[in-house]
Amino acid sequence: MRNGKGSMNRRGFLKGAAVGAAAGAAALVAPRVGVPGSLASAAASAALPEPVRLTPAQTAELQARETAPLPPEQESLTVSDPGSDFMVDVLKTLNFEYIAANPASSARGLHESLDSYGGNKNPEWLTCCHEVIALNIANGYYAVEGRPMAVFTFVPAGLHNSLTAISGAYGANTPSYILVANIADAEQRRAQQDWGGHSMTDPAAIARPLLKWDDNPPALQHFAESAVRAYKIAMTEPRGPVLLVVDASLAELPIPDRSKLSIPKLTLTSPPAADPAAVAEVAKLLVAAENPLILAGDFARDEEGMKLMVELAETLQAPVQGGGRGMPNRHPLSGGGSVPSADVILGFNRGSMFTDLYRSTDQQLKTSVRRTRPVAKVITISADDLLLHGNYQHVGRFAEVDLSLTGDPQATLPSLIEACKKLITSDRRRVLEARGKKIAAETARRREELLTYCTYGWDASPISQPRLAMETWDVVKRKDWALVSRGHPLWNADKFYRRMGAAGGGGVGGALPISIGAALAHRKHGRLCVNFNPDGDMMFVPGALWSATHHRIPLLIIMENNRAYHQEVMHLQRIANRRQRGQDIAHRGASGTTITDPNIDFAQLARSMGAYAEGPITDPKDLRPALLRAVERVEKGEVALLDTVVQPR
């Protein structure tokens, strides 16, 4: 119930007391009887003025005003059916397991409903120490679970804080589901806090260039419909982040008439397959090709996507490069072939393919030379063009192709496989099988070369990256493991869930919270999750560790601690050399790029937040026992961190 203008009820009094804390405190503790609160602070700060003394009649009047009951239409101390309870009902129908958030006063209505009315279950609140942690935990969770985790924040600061994670989500087609608290009604805003920092006219404007859709519902029924619509849009291919404003007064005021509210049924949209005629044309080219090459991005949504890609590769006996989680890396056709030798190149979710088709150099004069054969036909199958915002140049440099199919790759694969099978005669099959054997031999040879490559620097200190990867692999390979960070080509990623792909987003500062979100999704399956985490990344949001320990998310974190933002070290060296003053950089050390003096004690950092930790580990011989101890702790449900000091790259 709204308060009458110009009146002061008890709620108004409490607001005033909170806003003017000093004055209020002075009034409450003023030793001099009869000094009104409004004058008390002035009296305290003045040069001992004569205190104002009230007459007994004035004092009685004041006391009566403060203690007398207000007229019913002005009194509003309790509410029995707040709007945010209905909002929780809506969120429950969307079956969110978790909601990640840093608490905020303007979000208090929905927060309390989630806890009390919703029982802090489906969704369960995940406490995060920063909004970018919340967003990235949700992004990592989606990468494994395949459905969104809700995120709750407020404007403007909370949404500002989360922008890099939203950027990562947009870039990786991750359907972040973002709820943002705002207070639209001027009368419902607290006089100072909400006007000063918690209210906007168009909250989504902060993030709109990165959003697939947003809405600002002014009523509860509108909220229900937009909440379901937002979920549907986020999950429609190509997927992307959505934002829904939660009006705080809508959440805190009572529901006018619950019988008039309803929650629409969620029906997800099937992904769009490419045009059948174009698919048939692609099949003809692929079956006739002598040296086809499949270049795949991280196209697969689930295990079925991996099975389909394997089926296409085996049908054609064609090599597959990339594929993220959609191609088992030890498959005989995985990693074979090359762009310069291919006569038909099929790109799945590869963006513009410019970086595939051209060899580019980062020298003083930037050069790009096309490296395909003149006769090569280039085909793309992607839904990328269906979701583009102009301000972000992620589209890549424009590359000429011969056939461009708009469609979701995984949804298109069944018809493409079928079309290829129809065209393959028994004679053609024999040719393809012979080609497949050659490719298998080639990929086996490449693997042997890689194994030999790993032997160099094997005993080096700091520890070489291959040594770290293979020591870890030896400890986890017989368990049901899942990488929640980048991996190593020698690990046997035989299942979709073994790797993360790019689905969680990225960017410096994202690796730790993304891995935590992913590990949370794996937890119910009892998988051993491993995160190779760079030191520079860890220092962006180390507070994410606390969320992992607090919520009992088992995770093995292996620091790739090279004590630098090493990529930037290399960039500075490059520029200095280009200007022929490389020695200066080399001798002095590049300023602003190293993380030394002091070296960070990551083990101590992790222990401070309740994790098991060891390190720094610099001798590769110390790795195995430390790994065994750490894995034992993780299998008991803990977070374990090993601070390993590694070679720069």
Q: Which of residues 610-649 bind another protein (CB under 8 A)?
A: 647-649
Cβ atoms within 10 Å of 5's Cβ, excluding its own: 6
Tokens 């890099």 -> residue:
164
- Looking at the Cβ atoms of 277 and 369, the one nearer to another protein is 369
Peptide bond into 72 cis (omega under 30): no
Cβ atoms within 10 Å of 288's Cβ, excluding its own: 13
Q: How many whole angstroms from its chain centre is CA 296?
A: 22
Minimum CB separation of residue 523 from another protein in Å reads: 24
Give the integer Cα–Cα distance in Å for 329 and 323. Answer: 9
Is residue 58 part of the contact set for another protein (CB under 8 A)? no
Which strand (E) or helix (H) includes residue 235?
A: helix 220-235
Minimum CB separation of residue 155 from another protein in Å reads: 25
Give the integer Cα–Cα distance in Å for 408 and 385. Answer: 11
The burial of 637, by beta-carbon neighbours within 10 Å (0-12 exposed, 13-18 middle, 19 or more buried), is given as: exposed
Is residue 401 part of the contact set for another protein (CB under 8 A)? no
- Looking at the Cβ atoms of 414 and 582, the one nearer to another protein is 582
Minimum CB separation of residue 524 from another protein in Å reads: 26
Minimum CB separation of residue 131 from another protein in Å reads: 20
Residue pair 384/238 in contact (Cβ under 8 Å)? The answer is yes
- Contacting residue, 26, 133, 502, 559, with another protein by CB under 8 A: 502
Minimum CB separation of residue 10 from another protein in Å reads: 52
Is beta strand 612-617 parallel, antiparallel or unpaired with respect to 555-561? unpaired
Minimum CB separation of residue 83 from another protein in Å reads: 37
Residue 115 per-residue DSSP state: I
Is residue 453 part of the contact set for another protein (CB under 8 A)? yes
- Contacting residue, 45, 451, 621, 632, with another protein by CB under 8 A: 451
Binding part of the chain for another protein, among 70-78, 308-316, 430-438, 453-461 by CB under 8 A, reads 453-461
Is residue 161 part of the contact set for another protein (CB under 8 A)? no
Order of strands, sheet of 377-382, starting from the edge strand that comes earlier in the sequence: 320-322, 292-296, 344-348, 377-382, 403-406
- Looking at the Cβ atoms of 468 and 555, the one nearer to another protein is 468
* The two structure tokens encoding residue 369: 């030379």
Minimum CB separation of residue 460 from another protein in Å reads: 5
Give the integer Cα–Cα distance in Å for 607 and 614. Answer: 9
| Residue 474 CA: distances (Å) to CA of 424, 460, 478, 537, 626 | 42, 19, 8, 26, 13
Tokens 């003023």 -> residue:
30
Total residues binding another protein (CB under 8 A)? 79
Is residue 574 part of the contact set for another protein (CB under 8 A)? yes
* The two structure tokens encoding residue 257: 């008439």
- Contacting residue, 53, 525, 581, 629, with another protein by CB under 8 A: 581
User: Rule CB under 8 A: which of 295-314 touch another protein?
Assistant: 297-298
Is residue 153 part of the contact set for another protein (CB under 8 A)? no
User: Rule CB under 8 A: which of 315-374 touch another protein?
Assistant: 321-322, 329, 335, 349-351, 355, 361-363
Minimum CB separation of residue 449 from another protein in Å reads: 5
| Residue 214 CA: distances (Å) to CA of 63, 166, 229, 309, 435 | 50, 13, 10, 34, 50
Residue pair 372/357 in contact (Cβ under 8 Å)? The answer is yes
- Contacting residue, 146, 171, 209, 264, with another protein by CB under 8 A: 171
* The two structure tokens encoding residue 539: 């220092």
- Looking at the Cβ atoms of 150 and 172, the one nearer to another protein is 172
- Looking at the Cβ atoms of 177 and 491, the one nearer to another protein is 491
Is residue 382 part of the contact set for another protein (CB under 8 A)? yes
- Contacting residue, 46, 458, 608, 621, with another protein by CB under 8 A: 458
- Contacting residue, 7, 269, 455, 608, with another protein by CB under 8 A: 455
Residue pair 87/150 in contact (Cβ under 8 Å)? The answer is no
Is residue 513 part of the contact set for another protein (CB under 8 A)? no
Give the integer Cα–Cα distance in Å for 193 and 67. Answer: 27
Is residue 195 part of the contact set for another protein (CB under 8 A)? no
Strands (E) located in 528-607: 528-534, 555-561
Minimum CB separation of residue 459 from another protein in Å reads: 7
- Contacting residue, 93, 573, 594, 618, with another protein by CB under 8 A: 573
Residue 348 per-residue DSSP state: E
Name the amino acid, one letter, at 557: I
- Contacting residue, 244, 585, 603, 645, with another protein by CB under 8 A: 585
- Looking at the Cβ atoms of 16 and 507, the one nearer to another protein is 507
- At 328, is the secondary structure helix, strand, or coil? coil
- Contacting residue, 437, 578, 621, 629, with another protein by CB under 8 A: 578
- Contacting residue, 471, 535, 622, 643, with another protein by CB under 8 A: 471
Q: How many whole angstroms from its chain centre is CA 34?
A: 58
Is residue 147 part of the contact set for another protein (CB under 8 A)? no
Give the integer Cα–Cα distance in Å for 109 and 102. Answer: 14
- Looking at the Cβ atoms of 433 and 449, the one nearer to another protein is 449
Residue pair 420/312 in contact (Cβ under 8 Å)? The answer is yes
- Contacting residue, 569, 606, 640, 645, with another protein by CB under 8 A: 569
- Looking at the Cβ atoms of 80 and 363, the one nearer to another protein is 363
- Looking at the Cβ atoms of 155 and 242, the one nearer to another protein is 242
Phi-psi group of 246: left, alpha or beta (phi > 0 → left; psi -120 to 50 → alpha; rest → beta):
beta
Minimum CB separation of residue 195 from another protein in Å reads: 37
- Looking at the Cβ atoms of 40 and 556, the one nearer to another protein is 556
Could you tell me the sign of the dihedral formed by the alpha carbons of 261, 266, 267, 271, in that order? positive
User: Rule CB under 8 A: which of 229-268 touch another protein?
Assistant: 238
- Contacting residue, 9, 15, 421, 473, with another protein by CB under 8 A: 473
